Structure 1
Amino acid sequence: MAKIAYILLCHKDPEAVIQQASQLTTVGDYISIHFDARAPKSDYDQIRQALAENPNVAFARKRIKCGWGEWSLVQATLHALETAVTAFPRATHFYMVSGDCMAIKTAEYAHQFLDQRDQDFIESFDFFDSNWIKTGMKEDRLIYRHFFNERKHKALFYASADLQRKLGLKRKIPADLQVQIGSQWWCLRRRTVERLLAFLKTRKDVIRFFRTTWIPDETFFQTLVRHLVPEHEIETRTLTFLMFSDYGMPITFYNDHYDLLLRQDFLFARKISPEAQELKLRLGKLYAAKDVSFSISNEGRNLQKFLTERGRVGRRFSPRFWETESTLGRERELMIITCKKWHVAKRLLESVRQVTNLPCLEYLFNEEGTPLPDLGGIQASLGKRTRHRRALMRMLFEYYDSDRMVVCMDPASLDLIQDFYSDRSRTRLLQVECIFSDSYLAGHARRVGLAGEATSQQSLDRLLPTIRNDILFESDRLRDANLDHHMILRQTNEPAVNLEKLQNFLSISPEQADRILQTDHLFAD
């Protein structure tokens, strides 16, 4: 049976540290604590006194002052890790946590989870080839030496880096290491930790290198574990559930996140708000509970992204030069069908193709697998299609040797639709509005990852109004854009009204429009 030794780095709130340590050790697990030397000694003494009688608690042999982005965070972790290896010989796993972390599964579940997987859990992506770093310094973190803290001495930090850059003082990365990067919240097996500590005793050059890198807690363990452990024994993920805002700030969890957290495929969560007393109480009791079953839906990150994007309207960037300087052609006519129910638009599109023999393309800017001819690679990915959208459409017109074409786009793609409207070609828009039942919206939420099969009905009841409002919001945006030749075909319209709309949109005869609208089960889900 797995026995976990938690490695806790903390710097404040001694009462919370005492509570956290007591909760995590109540079922036989261990904890090794490093309490920042910058914190008051009285706080540290309070923690030691309160936990003195707990045999499953140990303290790092040395307290050091820690600073964000500095080697000190790695050194503090190593002190706590060395203490844990010696103090807890029965520990099978070592799990890195902070004072803001709490378990979101029972100890029983966590032990079974680890027993079934003989692996280390640590994010380790290639430092140079991955896109893990979104903004700020990348290779400069490694190839230059950093002696100042960017947050405390910003001017000195950047002046030092600039001086090294001007003088060409690049340094070499240890030749046998392939630097990796990832989250600092890991769970490692005992043999991995022992192998790592033994490696460091013989490789002082590695410590010297990382001691002056910037933010080494995101690269040190990630690199060495990948260096020392076979790839098939590493699962490149963290077992701690955490999310970040668009600005790179951690998302904080509150009392009403309890059910959401339990449904995620993780053992811990970070960050729990200090004010979320009810959540902390419930999660604290949960860890020691027995025979608890968990329904894993794992929709947390998709749901957070969806909810935080509501209401943010605007073009993603100004048009690129190849978009503003290219045109589909004055004599060409692009007809866009937009519908949130993609299967309805596809049925309609297929009928249009059969009745009119016009070139018809499904959601080519929304679905990677949309069938397209080989156009030299420009059609190969959604990113390329979107970036070179006018060039792509011009090539499609030429490929089909036609001056008229029908395509489908999602109503959320207003920037694409507006861009085509700004072209010299003639553009028409047919907006297809459908009825959305709660059951359809629930299925939609599951298909796009906002909910899972195990998501509770209570959670769905809270989510569905938001999805429905989002669909209405996209529809209203299209109408508010005041686009020329914009027609709306509604499921609730009288057939004669829809016939007229479709006839005008496609410039076809009433008989042809009627044949298209007679499509079997056009609006069926």
Structure 2
Amino acid sequence: MSVGIVMLVHTALHRAEQVARHWTAAGCPVVLHVDSNVSRKTYRRFRAALADDRRVRFCRRHRCEWGTWGIVAASQSGAEMMLAEFPDVRHVYLASGSCLPLRPVQELIEYLEARPRTDFIESATTADVPWTVGGLDEERFTLRFPFSWKKNRLLFDLSVDLQRRFNLRRKTPAGLVPHMGSQWWCLTRQTLSAILEDPDRPVFDAYFKRVWIPDESYYQTLVRQYSTNIESRSLTLSKFDFQGKPHIFYDDHLQLLRRSDCFVARKIWPYADRLYKAFLTDSSMAMNRTEPNPGKIDRIFAKAVERRTRGRPGLYMQSRFPNEDWENGLTSSQYSVFEGFTELFEDFEPWLAKITGARVHGHLFAPGRAEFSGGAHLINGALSDNARSRDDDPKAFFTSLIWNTRGERQCFQFGPGDNQAIEWTLAKDPNAQISVISGAWAVPLFRSNQNFSALRSQAAALQKIEAAHLKVLRSTWTKARVRVWTMAEFIESPMEPLQTIIDEIGTVSPRRLAEAPRMADLEGFGRFLQNLKNQGMHPYLMGDFPVESEVKHAPKPPRKPYLVQ
């Protein structure tokens, strides 16, 4: 006999009985501590169920509550009984009722017999511990914690604040250097008995009774006083999430647990029948003899924590909607926004779709409806073109569209006549490529043949909206790739900016553009702008348009044939 098991039990007693019998069947004595919060009736029934096992003992009961001294007192009572009643035990292994042996017990016995003077306990100074959660590192040893963090959070926080304000500090007993680590240890008889029989134990116990979460520091600190050979690691696989709560293992973690090569794992879901059956009864499925290496699965847990805390880029879960600017990427993939292009060029959307192979929409945020490509009324993810539904939450509509169509580049038109509620989302999104021809919204007005007084009013309103929009795009908060041309400078040489935009999107056949899409007839546009000025409006966003001079790329009269005689 070389290994004794001290089990701290408070729930799922039928599983604790099953695991205890598994330990004793392999020759390991078990001392059980049952939380005094468990009713006497339940306790008596549990004790009677194990009365036939001669290797099982029950120690004095303590009230155990997270973060309090009761857990340490329970382990002390169990360890004292183990050392007193089983003199052949050379190592004492602390486990909980939710722990599950992953490898044959005989392997653990042989492993510890080969290391008779080694103590396995995670023990690191507070400066070297990266996993503390809750804002208390050194302070957990220098302040007093008379109130329960879980039951009396208000009094706990108030007590901490008062002690900080009045600089009330406790002195650490002479010779002790506080250490921290996992509460699940495996200590030699020599080290454990030295801790429990130390003449200064009353002093140490009185000090740690007011330490926050003493089960993670009591043995971890005192073992440094007596041990001659410490392996600063636990033989128990115990993983915690970003909030400091233990991961619970379920049936679908079977292969993951096998890969860990650890002797024991916690915390096992009490209804994980497949795990209990596989590891407690199926010896043919036992893992190979090898050094415990929980690091083999650390990468999986790290990814799980990242997925839980950050989510997937551009995906918004209804149950865990992120705070503003806390999301992991506004959208899931890159897209392009065109402002003024469809107004300046005829059939721009079909031309762009042909050149790039992307899905090109019209004005997704037009007042009447979302103009999906091809005139569709529904798009991936059952998104409707209904304007009212879209405008209930424009950001959710847009991010859903990008998520549902990921893998295919999306392009759409935007302008001052659209719903502007989406502009900051576009501006702050690094996935956005925004190309603006400022003032191009005036072309449809120019060609509309409406009363000039109405045109002037509309032009003034649209220019005000676009000016505010351009201010957003030029703000320091903008992360999108933004290019802005005035209409006058764009039509002077449209091929170069079009080529730049197309190259960034990526084309079906990466070649230089041979020709631009057909530009709208702008004959008389300069006079139209001058008329707006004459009526008291200053259309400055279009750039410097001459009043009478011919506009390049506008349709020209056919030339007379040149005859050679």
TM-score by length of 1: 0.59
Residue equivalent to 1:265 = 261
Residue equivalent to 1:175 = 174
For this pair of structures, how many residues does the alignment match?
Answer: 346
**Which of residues 298, 308, 314 is equivalent to 1:301?**
298
Cα distance, 1:149 vs. partner? 0.8
**CA separation in 2, counterparts of 1:206 and 1:474?**
62
Structure 1 contact 106–289 (Cα < 8 Å) conserved: no
Letter in 1 for 2:237: F
Q: How does 1:104-143 map to 2 (within 5 A)?
A: 104-117=102-115, 118-143=117-142
**CA separation in 2, counterparts of 1:212 and 1:194?**
23
Q: What SS does structure 2 have at the residue aligned with 1:299?
A: helix
Cα distance, 1:91 vs. partner? 1.2
Cα distance, 1:18 vs. partner? 1.5
Q: Give the RMSD, CA atoms, in angstroms.
A: 3.7
Cα distance, 1:57 vs. partner? 0.8
Structure 2 contact 94–184 (Cα < 8 Å) conserved: yes
Distance 1:293 1:480, change over 3 A: same
Distance 1:291 1:128, change over 3 A: closer
Cα distance, 1:158 vs. partner? 2.1
Residue equivalent to 2:231 = 235
Q: Deviations over 1:183-206 (max 9, x none)?
A: 10111111111111122x433211
Letter in 1 for 2:233: R
**CA separation in 2, counterparts of 1:68 and 1:229?**
27
**CA separation in 1, counterparts of 2:432 and 2:73?**
57
Residue equivalent to 2:20 = 21
Cα distance, 1:308 vs. partner? 4.8
Q: How does 1:102-251 map to 2 (within 5 A)?
A: 102-117=100-115, 118-199=117-198, 201-230=199-228, 233-251=229-247
Cα distance, 1:266 vs. partner? 1.4
**CA separation in 2, counterparts of 1:25 and 1:13?**
19
Q: How does 1:32-431 map to 2 (within 5 A)?
A: 32-60=31-59, 62-117=60-115, 118-199=117-198, 201-230=199-228, 233-286=229-282, 293=288, 298-310=295-307, 311-313=311-313
Q: Deviations over 1:355-384 (max 9, x none)?
A: xxxxxxxxxxxxxxxxxxxxxxxxxxxxxx
Bigger CA radius of gyration = 2
Q: What SS does structure 2 have at the residue aligned with 1:301?
A: helix
**CA separation in 2, counterparts of 1:317 and 1:308?**
18
Cα distance, 1:248 vs. partner? 2.3
Range 289-298 or range 113-122, more displaced? 289-298
Distance 1:237 1:413, change over 3 A: farther
Cα distance, 1:318 vs. partner? 11
- Tell me: higher relative CO, structure 1 or 2? Use CA pairs within 8 A at least 6 residues apart: 1
Cα distance, 1:159 vs. partner? 2.2
Letter in 1 for 2:312: R
Letter in 1 for 2:98: D
Letter in 2 for 1:39: V
Letter in 2 for 1:102: L
Q: What SS does structure 1 have at the residue aligned with 2:187?
A: strand
Cα distance, 1:209 vs. partner? 0.5
Q: What SS does structure 2 have at the residue aligned with 1:58?
A: strand
Structure 1 contact 142–214 (Cα < 8 Å) conserved: yes
Q: Deviations over 1:292-345 (max 9, x none)?
A: 63578753221132245344338x9999xxxxxxxxxxxxxxxxxxxxxxxxxx
Percent of paired sites with the same residue: 32
**CA separation in 2, counterparts of 1:476 and 1:23?**
58
**CA separation in 1, counterparts of 2:121 and 2:323?**
36
Cα distance, 1:58 vs. partner? 1.1
Cα distance, 1:475 vs. partner? 11
Letter in 1 for 2:268: I
Cα distance, 1:214 vs. partner? 1.0
Structure 1 contact 121–186 (Cα < 8 Å) conserved: yes
**CA separation in 2, counterparts of 1:20 and 1:259?**
20
Q: What SS does structure 2 have at the residue aligned with 1:96?
A: strand
Structure 1 contact 121–236 (Cα < 8 Å) conserved: yes
Cα distance, 1:92 vs. partner? 1.5
Question: Which 4+ residue blocks in structure 1 deviate beyond 4 angstroms?
Answer: 288-292, 294-298, 316-319, 412-415, 472-481, 483-490
Structure 1 contact 17–47 (Cα < 8 Å) conserved: no
TM-score by length of 2: 0.55
**CA separation in 1, counterparts of 2:286 and 2:223?**
34
Cα distance, 1:290 vs. partner? 9.9
Letter in 2 for 1:202: D
> What runs of 5+ residues in structure 1 fail to find an aligned partner?
320-411, 419-471, 501-525
Cα distance, 1:44 vs. partner? 1.2
Q: Deviations over 1:101-135 (max 9, x none)?
A: 10111112212222333421111110244333143
Structure 1 contact 241–266 (Cα < 8 Å) conserved: yes
Structure 2 contact 195–201 (Cα < 8 Å) conserved: no
Distance 1:167 1:306, change over 3 A: closer
Cα distance, 1:37 vs. partner? 0.9
Structure 2 contact 8–35 (Cα < 8 Å) conserved: yes
**CA separation in 2, counterparts of 1:221 and 1:292?**
30
Letter in 2 for 1:132: W
